[in-house]
């Protein structure tokens, strides 16, 4: 009994000491502060940091944050957000929780910048190594759409699939973009028929931020991410400017215009309208090869979104409409011509795309860290096109549903997320005289457990089971680890499986622009790969500023992969399932530092070793830069 009492006292002391090293809190703001009745709502994205240190973080979607206490006798916590009055609070070391309310600054007469958030950062607390690209970083690139938003990013490459159509694709870990899951506000997007040209469907001025993570993602987001995940956050209707206008003109005659208008209808409802138009009708052939250097593109894009922010219930919904006409080929080609072998070569792609989404969430009042959410999305994509003498018409109808419940076991150190998902994809394709139709139905369930030991250790272990109407049942396990070796040295590791359904023509319709014959040797099987990776991040104080050093290595091994073989026959493309080995090993080292005020410097080096078996021979992946610096 005596030993038990001593053990209990020691345990209580350890727990007390552990909790005394961290401060958790929530940052709120007031909706419609000029009204008599003020509504208190969480403020996501607020900067929270200790004064006179480099320790800081940002609040999550629920306005929550967690910070380790600094080595100071009288620490001062600073909270800031654009358009709101900064707040600073003296914190006692015995204090564990705090709530802060920021007030709108309506009488700003002078702006004094005392601290600048970095354009690119990696959260110190996130178990998944995620690089956040903020609006400040996006402004550094000549960003007209998503495809041009990674020019300052060392991890992501964007290249042309072919010059005739102007299609672009991303590469992550040395693998083509289809192996990276692209999401818009946690909704899978830009797949299927949007694979070839989808990077041009998201204007740069619409984006609030981009999150890039390498390797497998959390199972709550699905089973597809193999090489990584890219999530795009749009501007929010309750936080965007009331009116934003911009225009772009370049030397080749390309014209773009954007208009964004946000309205706060009342203390709970807000809406925003986004409009984009672009036109390039000037034919350019600087190298004199009789082919257009870039396709002629006319695009109209509109997006309307709504948000309701209640005390415990939040919902968002909206719709998008896109219309694009893309023409390429020889200078003398015209869409009015009769197409035959005696006429100039040309391509024309007409796209009409509709999207609608609805997200809703409920936060339980009497149980902390407990919520439930629903995400739905519907997409209709229609493409009428021809590539020379090849006619390709296709239609895609897709539906996505994700139901989530989040809570904890015992205490908030042991949290979990579980739920149900359903995915439907219908493809109707016609290539010349051949029809390629596919109907895909995938229900699934998932469970994800998270363990957090203050800021020292975080573990995410997840598993999901899905049933594919074509390929049957399959299981996706994934694991993520974050361990703080010291306060300034953070180690992360991840491992897991990924799957995807390859749609041969829809995802590769730009290959129809060549004169090669297409041979689908066998029925494509489900693609499957195992990905594992490890990264280490070191923070160093240099001359009063923070130097961030990071290094990572990721290995991807395919159990099955769809192979596009361009080497067997110069007059043909053979498509078949992997018969042999296929793998990717990607190494990267990076250093980031603010050299002087407003001058950030990033140095990076990357090496990709990517090999696949084509025509019974293991060889380097073609058209891939092994080195980048």
* Predicted confidence (pLDDT) at residue 151 exceeds the cutoff of 90: no
Q: Which of these ranges, 67-76, 242-251, 259-268, 326-335, has the smallest mean pLDDT?
A: 67-76
488 with 461: CB under 8 angstroms?
A: no
Q: Residue 454: how many CB atoms within 10 A of its CB?
A: 15
What is the rounded distance in angstroms from the CA atom of residue 448 to the CA atom of residue 220? 7
* Predicted confidence (pLDDT) at residue 111 exceeds the cutoff of 60: no
For 579, phi then psi, to 5°, come to: -130, 80
Q: What is the pTM of this model?
A: 0.83
How confident is residue 140, by pLDDT bands cut at 50, 70 and 90?
A: confident
What is the rounded distance in angstroms from the CA atom of residue 573 to the CA atom of residue 161? 15
Q: What angle do CA 365, 407, 25 make, to 5 degrees?
A: 60
375-390 burial code (b ≥16 CB/10 A, e <16): bbbbbebbbebbbbeb
* Predicted confidence (pLDDT) at residue 439 exceeds the cutoff of 90: yes
How far from chain centre, in Å, is Cα 618? 32
Q: Give me the pLDDT at residue 21, please.
A: 64
Contacts of 129 (CB under 8 A, 6+ apart): 122, 213, 214, 215, 492, 494, 533, 535, 537, 552
Q: What angle do CA 366, 367, 369 make, to 5 degrees?
A: 135
177 with 183: CB under 8 angstroms?
A: no
What is the rounded distance in angstroms from the CA atom of residue 495 to the CA atom of residue 553? 12
Give the residue among 204, 185, 211, 199 at the shortest CA–CA distance from 244.
204
What is the rounded distance in angstroms from the CA atom of residue 362 to the CA atom of residue 318? 19
Task: Report the pLDDT averaged over residues 498-508.
Answer: 94
The percentage of residues in the chain with a pLDDT greater than 70, rounded to a whole number, is: 92
Q: Give me the pLDDT at residue 41, please.
A: 79
* Predicted confidence (pLDDT) at residue 82 exceeds the cutoff of 80: no
Mean pLDDT of the chain: 89
Q: Which of these ranges, 95-109, 156-170, 495-509, has the smallest mean pLDDT?
A: 95-109
How confident is residue 3, by pLDDT bands cut at 50, 70 and 90?
A: very low
* Predicted confidence (pLDDT) at residue 10 exceeds the cutoff of 60: no
Give the residue among 583, 602, 584 at the shortest CA–CA distance from 593.
602
What is the rounded distance in angstroms from the CA atom of residue 432 to the CA atom of residue 204? 36
What is the rounded distance in angstroms from the CA atom of residue 621 to the CA atom of residue 157? 15
Task: Report the pLDDT averaged over residues 341-347.
Answer: 94
Task: Report the pLDDT averaged over residues 109-124.
Answer: 61
297 with 348: CB under 8 angstroms?
A: no
**Do β-strands 582-596 and 599-614 pair in parallel, antiparallel, or remain unpaired?**
antiparallel
Q: Give me the pLDDT at residue 1, please.
A: 46
How confident is residue 369, by pLDDT bands cut at 50, 70 and 90?
A: confident
Task: Report the pLDDT averaged over residues 241-259.
Answer: 93
Strand partners, 346: 329
Query: Highest mean pLDDT range out of 19-23, 357-361, 512-516?
Result: 357-361
Give the E-state strand segments of 310-345 in sequence order.
313-329
The percentage of residues in the chain with a pLDDT greater than 90, rounded to a whole number, is: 66
Q: What angle do CA 506, 511, 514 make, to 5 degrees?
A: 150
Task: Report the pLDDT averaged over residues 478-497.
Answer: 96
What is the rounded distance in angstroms from the CA atom of residue 195 to the CA atom of residue 87? 45
Give the strands of the sheet with 47-50, arranged side by side.
56-58, 47-50, 76-80, 87-90
Burial class (CB in 10 A: 0-12, 13-18, 19+), 35: exposed
627 with 606: CB under 8 angstroms?
A: yes
How confident is residue 611, by pLDDT bands cut at 50, 70 and 90?
A: very high
Task: Report the pLDDT averaged over residues 290-307.
Answer: 97
Is the pLDDT higher at 3 or at 479? 479
Q: Give me the pLDDT at residue 105, please.
A: 65
DSSP tag of 84: B
Task: Please report the domains of the chain, with CATH numbers, ordered by start residue.
Answer: 22-107 (2.60.40.1120), 130-628 (2.40.170.20)
* Predicted confidence (pLDDT) at residue 557 exceeds the cutoff of 50: yes
Task: Report the pLDDT averaged over residues 308-329.
Answer: 96
Q: What angle do CA 503, 506, 507 make, to 5 degrees?
A: 75
Is the pLDDT higher at 454 or at 612? 612
How confident is residue 65, by pLDDT bands cut at 50, 70 and 90?
A: confident
Q: Give me the pLDDT at residue 9, please.
A: 44
Strand partners, 320: 303, 355
* Predicted confidence (pLDDT) at residue 104 exceeds the cutoff of 80: no
* Predicted confidence (pLDDT) at residue 107 exceeds the cutoff of 70: no
Task: Report the pLDDT averaged over residues 435-444.
Answer: 96
Query: Highest mean pLDDT range out of 61-65, 133-137, 418-422, 566-570?
Result: 418-422
Q: Give me the pLDDT at residue 549, please.
A: 96
385 with 335: CB under 8 angstroms?
A: no
Task: Report the pLDDT averaged over residues 562-566.
Answer: 94
């Amino acid at each position: 009994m005596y030993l038990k009492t001593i053990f209990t006292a020691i345990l209580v002391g350890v727990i007390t000491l552990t909790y005394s090293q961290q401060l958790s809190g929530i940052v709120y703001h007031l909706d419609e502060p000029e009204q008599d009745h003020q509504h208190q709502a969480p403020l996501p994205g607020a900067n929270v940091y200790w004064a006179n240190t480099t320790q800081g973080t940002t609040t999550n979607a629920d306005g929550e944050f967690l910070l380790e206490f600094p080595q100071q006798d009288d620490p001062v916590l600073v909270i800031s957000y654009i358009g709101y009055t900064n707040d600073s609070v003296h914190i006692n070391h015995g204090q564990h929780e705090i709530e802060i309310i920021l007030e709108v600054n309506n009488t700003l007469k002078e702006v004094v910048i005392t601290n600048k958030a970095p354009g690119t950062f990696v959260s110190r607390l996130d178990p998944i190594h995620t690089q956040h690209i903020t609006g400040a970083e996006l402004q550094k690139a000549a960003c007209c759409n998503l495809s041009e938003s990674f020019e300052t990013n060392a991890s992501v490459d964007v290249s042309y699939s072919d010059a005739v159509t102007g299609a672009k694709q991303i590469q992550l870990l040395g693998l083509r973009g289809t192996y990276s899951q692209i999401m818009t506000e946690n909704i899978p997007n830009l797949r299927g028929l949007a694979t070839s040209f989808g990077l041009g469907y998201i204007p740069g001025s619409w984006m609030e931020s981009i999150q890039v993570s390498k390797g497998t993602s959390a199972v709550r987001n699905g089973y597809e991410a193999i090489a990584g995940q890219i999530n795009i956050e749009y501007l929010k209707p309750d936080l965007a400017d009331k009116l934003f206008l911009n225009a772009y003109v370049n030397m080749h005659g390309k014209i773009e215009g954007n208009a964004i208008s946000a309205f706060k209808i009342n203390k709970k409802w807000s809406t925003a309208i986004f409009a984009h138009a672009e036109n390039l009708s000037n034919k350019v052939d600087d190298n004199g090869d009789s082919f257009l250097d870039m396709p002629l593109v006319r695009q109209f894009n509109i997006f309307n979104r709504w948000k309701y922010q209640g005390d415990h219930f939040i919902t968002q919904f909206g719709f998008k409409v896109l219309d694009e006409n893309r023409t390429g080929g020889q200078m003398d080609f015209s869409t009015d011509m009769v197409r035959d072998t005696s006429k100039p070569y040309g391509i024309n792609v007409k796209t009409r795309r509709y999207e609608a989404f609805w997200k809703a969430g409920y936060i339980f009042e009497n149980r902390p860290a407990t919520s439930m959410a629903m995400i739905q999305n519907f997409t209709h994509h229609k493409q009428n096109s021809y590539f020379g003498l090849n006619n390709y018409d296709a239609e895609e109808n897709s539906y996505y549903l994700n139901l989530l419940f989040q809570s904890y076991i015992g205490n908030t150190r042991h949290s979990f997320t579980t739920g149900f998902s359903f995915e439907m994809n219908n493809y109707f394709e016609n290539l010349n005289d051949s029809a390629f139709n596919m109907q895909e139905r995938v229900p699934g369930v998932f469970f994800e457990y998270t363990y957090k030991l203050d800021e020292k250790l975080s573990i995410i272990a997840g598993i999901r089971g899905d049933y594919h109407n074509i390929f049957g049942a399959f299981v996706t396990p994934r694991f993520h680890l974050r361990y703080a070796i010291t306060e300034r040295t953070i180690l992360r590791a991840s491992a897991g499986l990924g799957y995807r359904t390859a749609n041969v023509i829809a995802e590769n319709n730009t290959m129809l622009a060549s004169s090669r014959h297409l041979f689908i040797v066998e029925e494509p099987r489900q693609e499957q790969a195992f990905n594992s990776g490890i990264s280490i991040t070191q923070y160093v104080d240099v001359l009063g500023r923070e130097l961030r050093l990071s290094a990572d290595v990721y290995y991807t091994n395919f159990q099955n992969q769809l192979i596009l073989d361009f080497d067997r026959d110069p007059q043909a493309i053979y498509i078949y399932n992997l018969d042999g080995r296929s793998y990717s090993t990607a190494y990267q080292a990076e250093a980031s530092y603010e050299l002087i005020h407003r001058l950030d410097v990033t140095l990076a080096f990357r090496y990709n070793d990517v090999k696949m078996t084509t025509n019974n021979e293991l060889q380097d992946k073609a058209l891939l830069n092994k080195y980048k610096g």
